[in-house]
Structure 1
Amino acid sequence: MKQTPLADPRPADIKGPEDLRAMSPGEVRRLVPEIRRLLVDTVTRTGGHLGPNLGVVELSVALHRVFESPRDAILWDTGHQSYVHKILTGRAGDLGTLRRRGGLSGYPSRAESPHDVIENSHASTVLSWAAGLARAHGLRGERDRAVVAVIGDGALTGGMAWEALNNIAAAPGRPVIVVLNDNTRSYGPTAGGIAEHLAALRTGTARDHLFESLGLARLGPVDGHDITALETALRHARDLGRSVVVHCVTEKGRGHAPAEQDEADRQHAVRPLAPGRPGGDGSPSWTAVFGRELARLGAERPDLVAVTAAMLHPTGLTEFAGRHPDRTLDVGIAEQHAVTTAAGLALGGMHPVVAIYATFLNRAYDQLLLDAALHRAPLTLVLDRAGVTGDDGPSHNGMWDLSLLNTVPGLRVAAPRDAATLRRALREAVAVHDGPTAVRFPKGTTGPDIPAVDTVRGVDVLRRGELADLLLVSVGAMGGTCLEIASLLALDGVGVTVVDPRWIKPVPQALVELSLGHRLVATVEDNGRAGGAGAAVAQALGDAGAPAPVRTFGLPQRFLDHGSRAEILESAGLTAPRIADTLAAALLYSRAAAAPAPLPVPRPPVPGSAVPPH
C-alpha cells in the first residue's frame, strides 16, 4: 500500500527543541526552507536582523539537535543571530511581535525563555560568559552539562574574546565548545589579520593553526549549511571532553536573493515595511547629514582620519571612505583599540574622527579618560544613536554617554538639535586642537531645522518669554519638545524662554547668567538623569550661587524595555504635556512660596484663660 507522504513540518509546530530532536533527517531538511520563509516574511515586516539569521538556520538546527537546551547552555554572540534559536525554542508564533513593545526582543531575553541564558547584544563577550559558566559547573560537580558559545568571526576582532580564549585554553577541566560562525562579515567584511587567518583555514593554505597553538582542539572547517556534517562535528566536539573550536563556514543572508546580492552588509538589518515610520517629512537621517559633512571636511582637511569599529556603513562613513580610503581605518569590533589608536593618530599630527554608536562608548571609557583626555589628544568622537533608540532594547539605548562624558576632564561635548547645528558642531569640533571633543545625535531623521531667534555668547535662544518665569534648557534633539512645552505653558500665562546651549560640556557661562533672571530653570534631555546634562547645569548654577531652583527631566536610571522611541519617551514622562503639567505645578508652588505671609489674626481668648503675651 502506498504511504501518504508526511506534511512539511512547520516552524509553528515546534514547541521546544525536543520536537526538533524527534524529527527524522528528511523532516529536518524540509523544515529548513520553511524557517527561512518565515524569517523573510516576518522580519521584512517587523524590521530586524535578517541577514545574520538567514545564515545560521542549519547551524541553529544542528545545535538544538545535538545539545539539550537549556540543560546544555547555548550562548550567542552577538544575540542578533538568535531569531532561529527563538523559533526552535517555541516562539515562532510570536515572531510577528519582534522588536515591538511587549513583544519578542531582538536579542536573547531571559524574561522570554529559559533557553535564553544571557542577554547578549554587544559583541565579543560570549567566551567570557562561557568560561565563567563552565567553571561554575565544574565547581558544582555538574560534569554532564555542556557549555556552547556561538561567536561570529567579526566578534573575534574584539580583544575581550582573546582574553577569554587565553583563559579557556588554560582550564582543560572545564571545557567550552566554541562554535565559530565564520561568514567573513560583521556588518561589512571582517577586517584584520584574524580574517586573513580564517580565510587561509577555509582554503587549506594556513601554515599553522592559531587556535591549536593556544592549546585548543579544532574541528573543521565544516560546511555550515550541511546539517549532517554539522551534527557530526558537534557530537565529536561534545564527546572530546576538552575545549574545542568548531569552525563553521556560513553565508550571511543565505537563501534570500536580495541579501545574497547585497555586498554592503547582506541585509544585516532591515527596516519594517509598515507605514508611518520616521522620515515622512522628507528630512535626512542624522547619520546621513554627518556622513556628507565629514566627506566635505575631508576634502578641505587632509589631516582628518575616519575611524570605525566594524561599522563603516551604519555610522555614515561610506562617502568619506570612498573619497579618502587611505584615511579610513576599520579596526574591527574593538572600541577600546579605536579610541587609543585615535589618540596615537592625534599625537602624530592627524585629527581622527571616531564614529561609533553611543552605547558602544561604554566599552572605551578608560581609553577616553586616560589615553585621550589625559594626553589632551585632539580627536573627535561622533556618537550616533545617542539617547533613546527604542526597538533594539535596553542594551542599545544611548542613555549613558552624557553621564560618562561629564566625568572626563577637558572634554567638550556638543548636542546638536537639527541638521544645521549638526553640521556646525562637527566643524567646530574638528577645529579644536587642545583636547578631545564629542558630538552626539539620536537615531532617526533630523526633522526640520529649528532656527534661533537670538544667540547669547554661543547659547542659542529658541524662544523668548515676556515674563521671566522659566528658563527651559533644551539638550540636543529635545528642541521641538521644549518649544511645545513653552507653547502649552504660555496658554496658562507662564513666560518661558527656551535656550539651546549646543555645547553642553562645559556648561556655558552665558547659561548661568541667563538663569539669574528667572524664577525656575528646567532641563530636558533623553540621557539618564544621573550625571547627565541636567545634573551638570544644576551643579554649575549651584556653584555660581544662582538662586533659581533647577528641575531636571530625563530618562529614569533603569534598563528600558524595547519599543518605539515615542513609546519609550512617553513611558518615561518625556512628553510636552507631561513636562508642562509638572512645570506648571512647580511654578504655582514657587509663586505661593514667594508671596508674603499673611499677618496672624489674634484669636479671642478662651474664657478663663490668660491672654498670651505678644
Structure 2
Amino acid sequence: MNKHPDYLLNKISGPKDLKKLSIPEMEKLAKEIRTLILEKDAAEGGHLGPDLGIVEATIAYHYVFDAPKDKIVWDVSHQTYPHKMLTGRAQAWLDPNHYDDVTPFTNPDESPYDYFAIGHTSTSVALATGMARARDLMGGHENITALIGDGSMTGVLAYEGFNNAAIEKHNLVIVVNDNQWSIDKNVGGLVTALKKLRDSNGEAAENPFKAMGLDYRYVADGNNIQDMINAFKAVKDVDHPILLHINTLKGKGYSPALKDEEFHHWVIPFDLKTDKPLTPEKKPNPNTVATDVIKEQIKAGNKIIAINAAIPSNFDLDEIKDKYPDHYKDVGIAEQESVAFATGFAKEGGTPVLFENSSFLQRAFDQLSHDTAANDLPVVMMVGAGGISSESKTHLGMFDQVLISNLPNWIYLAPTNLAEEKAMMHWAIKQRKHPVAIKMPINDVPEGDDNKVIKDYSNIQYQVKPGKDVAVLALGDFYQLGAKVASKLNATLVNPVSANILDKDTLDKLAANHKVIITLEDDALDGGYGEKVASYLGNKGVKVLNYGQKRVYTDQTPLQ
C-alpha cells in the first residue's frame, strides 16, 4: 500500500513530468525523496549517506537533460535511489509491498534509463568515454555524462579514464561529486587537491583536472537545485570534454548521518527514532576475532599493520585506526594499491594483514598474481563477504576462492569456527614462506575450542569424523551444513581446512573406503575446491559429487 499518496512523486512517471515542476515544487520533491530513502533503508537496509547527498543533483540532471536519449553513467551506482524514483520506479520506495521490485544498483534489465550493471568503483569515466567515441562514429549527438565521486576518485581506473577523456573531440560531461568521503574519509594527496579547489571556489592554481587538459567548472553548493540546473544547462551540448566539480553534503537531511558519515554509508535495518540497528551485532564474530589477533600482535611489539581499501567498518577496524594509527593503513578505494602496498611491506620484513571484501578484491587480481604470488611474499589476507549470497550481481562474493586458490604459492585456508580462524591467523602471521589467505565465515559458525584446533597448517591434514559409504567434505562455513548432511546419511564428515591444498593421503583412504564423495563449498564450482578433488580422484573408481554455486550471475536471488 502506498504510504504517501499525497506525495508529489506519485505524479512523476519519468523525467518529462519533472520538467513541468517549478523550483519550489522540486525542492518539495527533494524532501519527499529523502523521506522515502530513510524509510526504506530503515526497513530493509541499503546505501544511505550517498543517496541522501545526491538528491538535488539528480533532480537537476533529469530536469535539464533528455534521458534516456542523453545518457548518464553512475559510478558505483550506490547513489542512484533518487535516479530510480525519477525514472518510473518510485513505487519501490512509496509502497513497502514493492520494496524488492528494484535492485540497489543501476541495471539495464530493469530500465532503459540504466545503461550498465554497475556496483564497483571508478569505472564511469572509462565507460562514458567509450560510449562517446561510439556515438561519434555512429553519427549521434546525444550528451554522454559520467558522474563520479563518493570515493571513486581514489581508484586508478578513474585516472585512466580522465587521461583518455581529455583527448576526446566532442561532447563528454564528467561530474565529480565531491562530498569529501568514500565509505570512510577520503585519503591521500587527492584530499589536498580537492580541498584547495573547494576553498578557492574552484580557482586554485593547482587544478589536477585542468592539468590533464579538461575544461573545468565548479559549483559551490551541489545541493542547491537552481545552481545545479544552471550548471547543467551551461555544459549541456558542449562540443568537447568538460568537467563539472560539485560540492555536496553526504547524508544531507538526516542529522545522525551527518554526525557519523562512515556508519551511515550503508546501513542494516534500523529504528528511525533511535538510529539503532534492529539486530545487534553478535560477539564474538569473525571480525572481532581478527581484530583481537591484530591488537595482540601490536601489544607484543610485532611490526604488523592492518591494511584495508576504504572499508574499515566492514571489518570493525575503527579501534585499530584510532588507537594504533602507526599500525593501520587505509589506501582508499584502491585494492590494487592495497595488495601492492602489503607486498612491499612484507618484502621489508613487516607483517601485513590485508582485509579485503571478496567482490572488491577481483580488481587486484594482477597484484595478487604478479606482485605477491610471483615473489612468494608472506602477505596475510583476510577475505570477507565471500560466499553464495542474495546480493546484486555486482556484489557477489563467490569468485575470490577461484581467483586466489588457483595462483601459485598462495595458501587458502577456510575455518569452520572462530577458534580455527584465530589459529589460522596466528600461524599465517608467524610463518614467513608464502602468502596466506583466510576466508572469513559469513554464515553463523560456532566459537569452537582453542585447545581442539590445529595450530600448524604447514602440512594440510583433513580432520575426519568416520561414517559409512558416503564421505562429505564440507569446506569452511559450509561445515555446519555438511554436519547436517552427514548426520542424515550416517556419513563420514571431513573438514578439508584448505580450499586449494589437498590432503592426498586422506583422499586416497576416503576413496578406498567410500562409494560416494560429496564436496560442499560456499563459492563457485568452476575452478573451485570440489573440482580439484574430483580431478585428483578421477582414476580412483569412486563417484564424486560437487555442490556449490554454478557459473552464473545471480541478481538479488533469494537463498534457497
Q: TM-score, normalised by structure 2?
A: 0.92
Rounded to whole Å, the distance in 2 between the matches of 1:194 and 1:412 is 35
1:95 maps to what in 2? 93
Instruction: Say if 2:444 and 2:477, in contact at 8 Å, map to a contact too.
Output: no
Report how many aligned residue pairs link the two structures. Answer: 545
Q: Are 1:227 and 2:225 an aligned pair?
A: yes
One-letter amino acid matched to 1:555: Q
Q: Are 1:180 and 2:179 an aligned pair?
A: no
Q: Secondary structure at the match of 2:46?
A: coil
Rounded to whole Å, the distance in 2 between the matches of 1:172 and 1:87 is 34
1:169 maps to what in 2? 166
Instruction: Say if 1:284 and 1:445, in contact at 8 Å, map to a contact too.
Output: no
1:139 Cα deviation from its structure 2 partner: 0.6
Q: Secondary structure at the match of 1:535?
A: helix
Instruction: Say if 1:389 and 1:442, in contact at 8 Å, map to a contact too.
Output: no
1:463 maps to what in 2? 465
Rounded to whole Å, the distance in 2 between the matches of 1:454 and 1:433 is 21
2:305 maps to what in 1? 305
Rounded to whole Å, the distance in 1 between the matches of 2:249 and 2:97 is 24
Q: Secondary structure at the match of 1:521?
A: strand
1:13 Cα deviation from its structure 2 partner: 2.3
2:50 maps to what in 1? 52
After the TM superposition, which residues 72-221 of structure 1 pair with which residues of structure 2 at under 5 Å, given as runs? 72-95=70-93, 103-143=101-141, 145-173=142-170, 175-204=171-200, 206-221=204-219
Match among 263, 268, 282 for residue 265 of structure 2: 268
Describe the superposition over 1:218-276 as per-residue Cα deviations: whole angstroms up to 9, x where unpaired. Answer: 1104311111111111111114321111111111110001111115x1501111249xx
2:274 maps to what in 1? none
Rounded to whole Å, the distance in 2 between the matches of 1:323 and 1:26 is 47
One-letter amino acid matched to 1:196: T
1:537 Cα deviation from its structure 2 partner: 1.8
Structure 2 alignment gaps of length 5 or more: 272-276
Rounded to whole Å, the distance in 1 between the matches of 2:425 and 2:94 is 40
Q: Are 1:533 and 2:529 an aligned pair?
A: yes
The alignment yields a C-alpha RMSD, in angstroms, of: 2.5
1:578 maps to what in 2? none
Rounded to whole Å, the distance in 2 between the matches of 1:57 and 1:280 is 30
Q: Are 1:508 and 2:507 an aligned pair?
A: no
Rounded to whole Å, the distance in 2 between the matches of 1:206 and 1:430 is 46
Q: 1:547 to 1:297 in 2, by over 3 A?
A: farther
Q: 1:17 to 1:193 in 2, by over 3 A?
A: same
Rounded to whole Å, the distance in 1 between the matches of 2:279 and 2:499 is 27
Percent identity, please.
31
Q: Which moved more, 1:96-105 or 1:10-19?
A: 96-105
2:425 maps to what in 1? 426
1:550 Cα deviation from its structure 2 partner: 1.5
Q: 1:219 to 1:401 in 2, by over 3 A?
A: same
Instruction: Say if 1:522 and 1:552, in contact at 8 Å, map to a contact too.
Output: yes
2:439 maps to what in 1? 440
Rounded to whole Å, the distance in 2 between the matches of 1:371 and 1:45 is 43
1:322 Cα deviation from its structure 2 partner: 2.7
Instruction: Say if 1:454 and 1:461, in contact at 8 Å, map to a contact too.
Output: no
1:586 maps to what in 2? none
Q: Secondary structure at the match of 2:546?
A: strand
1:95 Cα deviation from its structure 2 partner: 2.6
Structure 1 alignment gaps of length 5 or more: 1-6, 491-495, 571-614
Q: Are 1:394 and 2:410 an aligned pair?
A: no
Instruction: Say if 1:283 and 1:446, in contact at 8 Å, map to a contact too.
Output: no
One-letter amino acid matched to 2:21: M
1:374 Cα deviation from its structure 2 partner: 0.7
Rounded to whole Å, the distance in 2 between the matches of 1:188 and 1:340 is 21
1:547 Cα deviation from its structure 2 partner: 3.4
Rounded to whole Å, the distance in 2 between the matches of 1:147 and 1:129 is 10
Q: 1:10 to 1:417 in 2, by over 3 A?
A: farther
Rounded to whole Å, the distance in 2 between the matches of 1:338 and 1:135 is 32
Describe the superposition over 1:115-135 as per-residue Cα deviations: whole angstroms up to 9, x where unpaired. Answer: 111111000011111001111
1:326 maps to what in 2? 326
1:3 maps to what in 2? none
Describe the superposition over 1:299-319 as per-residue Cα deviations: whole angstroms up to 9, x where unpaired. Answer: 235221111111122133222
1:347 maps to what in 2? 347
Q: 1:437 to 1:453 in 2, by over 3 A?
A: closer
Instruction: Say if 2:48 and 2:267, in contact at 8 Å, map to a contact too.
Output: yes
1:350 Cα deviation from its structure 2 partner: 0.8
Rounded to whole Å, the distance in 2 between the matches of 1:234 and 1:406 is 48
Q: Are 1:557 and 2:559 an aligned pair?
A: no
Q: TM-score, normalised by structure 1?
A: 0.84
Instruction: Say if 1:58 and 1:226, in contact at 8 Å, map to a contact too.
Output: yes
Instruction: Say if 1:278 and 1:444, in contact at 8 Å, map to a contact too.
Output: no
Describe the superposition over 1:462-511 as per-residue Cα deviations: whole angstroms up to 9, x where unpaired. Answer: 6331x2x1111111110111111112223xxxxx1111122232112343
Q: Secondary structure at the match of 1:197?
A: helix
Q: 1:479 to 1:452 in 2, by over 3 A?
A: farther
Instruction: Say if 1:224 and 1:230, in contact at 8 Å, map to a contact too.
Output: yes
One-letter amino acid matched to 1:407: N
